[in-house]
Amino acid sequence: MKILHRTEIEKILSSLDPIPKIEEGFVQYSKGLATVPPVGELLMEKGEVHIKYGCIRADEYYVVKVASGFYQNDALGLPSSNGLMLLFSQQTGQLACALLDEGFLTDIRTAIAGAIAAKHLAPANITAIGIVGTGIQARLQALYLKKVTTCRQLIVWGRSAEKTGDYQQDMQREGFEVSIADSIDELAQSANFIVTTTPSTTPLINVSQVRQGTHITAVGSDTPEKQELASDILARANLVVADSISQCQQRGEIYQALKAGSIQGEKVVELGNVIAAGQGRADEQQITIADLTGVAVQDIKIAEAVYLASEKK
C-alpha cells in the first residue's frame, strides 16, 4: 500500500492533465457505467464533512473520499478545506493508495469540472468572467478556465473588502486583469460568464440581474441548505445542466428550484450527456446554468491518475 502526501501529489499533478479523464468520467457516469451511492454527510456547528465514494465498473480501482469544509478556519490561520482519498482494488478490495491530499485534489477536480462546463456551455465571446467569492474555488475556477478560454478579464465581488483586495492582487499576478465590483448587480452587468463559489444559504443573484447570453457555473451550493441563485433564474434559463441529476435532486441549485416549483425535473440534462452529444450552448443569446455538486467519478479519475503516475516513477 502506497501513501502519497500533499507535496508529492502536487508535484505529480503538475505534470498531468486530468481534464480529459474527468470529462470521460462524466460521460461514463451518464451512460450508467458507474456505481455512485448517495453522499454521506455530517453537518456540524462549525463545519461539514462529505463522504463520496464509488466505482466505474470497467476500471481497476474504486475510491472512498472524505472532504471537509470549516469556513471559520481563516480566523485561525488554517485552510477551510481538508480531507483524503483512498484508492482500493476492485478485484480484491485491498487498499492500493492513501492520498493524504488535505483536500487539494477535491479542490482541483472541482475547478476542472468548472472548466469542462465552460468548454461546453460558455459563450463564444466572453466579455468578462464574474467571480462571486474570494476563497480557494474563486481562485482555482479562474485558473482552470485559462485552459478553455482566452478571456483574462475578471470582475470579483466578495463580502470582505480586505479579502477582495487580496484576491485582486493574487489573480493579477496570475495574468488576469481584475476589477472589483461594488455589488452583485454591477458584476452581473459587466460579465456574461459568472462563477459562484460561496457557501451562502440565501440567494446572492436574482433573475433581474442576469443578462441574456450569460452562463453561470454554480459550485458553492453542495448541500440541501446552500443556495446562491434565486430559483427563478433556473426557470428562465434555456439550458440547466447537472453534474449528477440524482444528486442535484437532493442538493444544490436544482434541488432548491425543484423544491420551490420553479422548474420540473425534465428541464434538467446531465453534463456527461452534454459532453457525449456535443450539444451544449446553441446560440449566444441563451442563458445556461451548470449546477456542480461534485460527483465521485471526479474523485475516481483524479486519484487514479495521480496514483498511476506515481507508479511510473
Provide the sign of the torsion angle of the four alpha carbons 274, 294, 306, 64, taken in this order: negative
Provide the angle, in degrees to the nearest 10, between the axes of the packed helices 104-121 and 19-30.
70
Active site residues: 65
CA torsion sign for 89, 95, 96, 99 is positive
Signed CA dihedral, 111, 38, 226, 280: sign only: positive
CA dist., res. 181 & res. 42, Å (int): 35
149: cell is 478560454
Q: What are the b/e assignments for 195-230, b being 16+ CB within 10 Å?
A: bbbbbbeebbbebebbeebbbbbbbbbbbeebbbbb
